[in-house]
Amino acid sequence: MLKINKNQSGMAHIMIIMVVVILAAVGGVGYYVTTKNKDSSPTKGVSKEQAASDKAIADACNKELNDKDFCKFAANWSDLKNYKTTITSTSAEGTSTIVAETENADKSRVVTSSNGKEVAAYVNIGKDFYTKDEADGSWTKFTDDSTTKPVNADVKGEVKVSDFKDTAEASKTQYKKIGKEACQSLTCYKYQIIDSADTATEQFVWFDTKDFLLRRTTTKSADGTSDMVIAYGNISVSAPTPVKSSTSSSQSAADAQKQMEDAMKAMGSSTTDSTDDSNSN
């Protein structure tokens, strides 16, 4: 599990690292839902195999927690697309914002700001990857003509929710129901997530009472705060302009891939938490 806002060495530096991580998430996660006019629901389009896996997680969760509402949420991470994630972080160095939008598994856009000023922007469309020059507003296009796969991550990595396959791991975390609150235009269940290995960090999650989708999560620690809000549906990503230069080669794609991986490693080294593979579906 990747945690943010831990031991930040510099606001702009951490913003660039985080945007690469989020870009990898929205660009490579391969999620989808049945899109409606104003929102999305994951109740259609899920394979039989995935539905069976989700049910197994829900059953294991209910056995562990006996909480049908939270367990519907815990098993509801499959096949999501068309969503916008806004992360607002604070630290001693100021306020940073990441806005990440994904239209589908092949189209995503990320804009990062530090203390109200845009510091980086990226767009990914299929094999094309665009980076923005903040000095003049132009873009550089990189095209991957190889079979390189994008770095994969997922939104669940931002929330410590067990898949309940490992009861020993699941028992380390408590999920305390706080009640119901308004969230966006919906009503959400609010839970506190208490990690016995990190009691100094306060984390809450909100998921809606209709589709049981993650809508918000907040964290607070001695190093700062983070507030992530997710909205689903009505996302459109197109190629940016003007493009000042373009490069097409498997080597440039490999270089971009390495840059992402290096940034993700740097992100990991700047936190006190590491990636928790046991919490991914």
Arithmetic mean of pLDDT, 73-81 = 78
User: How many domains is the chain partitioned into structurally?
Assistant: 1
191 is a domain residue? no
Q: Structural domain of residue 77, as residue ranges?
A: 11-160+233-268
133 is a domain residue? yes
104 is a domain residue? yes
188 is a domain residue? no
CB distance 215 to 75 below 8 Å: no
Arithmetic mean of pLDDT, 25-32 = 29
Arithmetic mean of pLDDT, 86-96 = 93
Q: Is residue 88 very low, low, confident or very high in pLDDT (cuts 50, 70, 90)?
A: very high
Q: What is the pLDDT of residues 117-130, one digit of tens each?
A: 999 998 989 889 89
Which residue type, as a one-letter code, is found at position 223?
Answer: D
Task: Tell me the range of 48-52, 150-154, 214-218, 258-262 where mean pLDDT is highest.
Answer: 214-218
**What does the alpha-carbon distance between residue 258 and residue 125 come to, in Å, rounded to a whole number?**
19
228 is a domain residue? no
**What does the alpha-carbon distance between residue 37 and residue 39 come to, in Å, rounded to a whole number?**
6
**Does the pLDDT of residue 53 top 50, yes or no?**
yes
Nearest to 224 by CA among 113, 90, 88: 90
> How high is the pLDDT of residue 246?
86
33 is a domain residue? yes
Arithmetic mean of pLDDT, 205-234 = 93
- In the structure, how many helices (H) and strands (E) does the chain have? 5, 14
Nearest to 172 by CA among 281, 274, 64: 64
Lowest mean per-residue pLDDT among 15-19, 31-35, 248-252, 259-263: 31-35
278 is a domain residue? no
67 is a domain residue? yes
Q: Is residue 71 very low, low, confident or very high in pLDDT (cuts 50, 70, 90)?
A: very high
> How high is the pLDDT of residue 60?
87
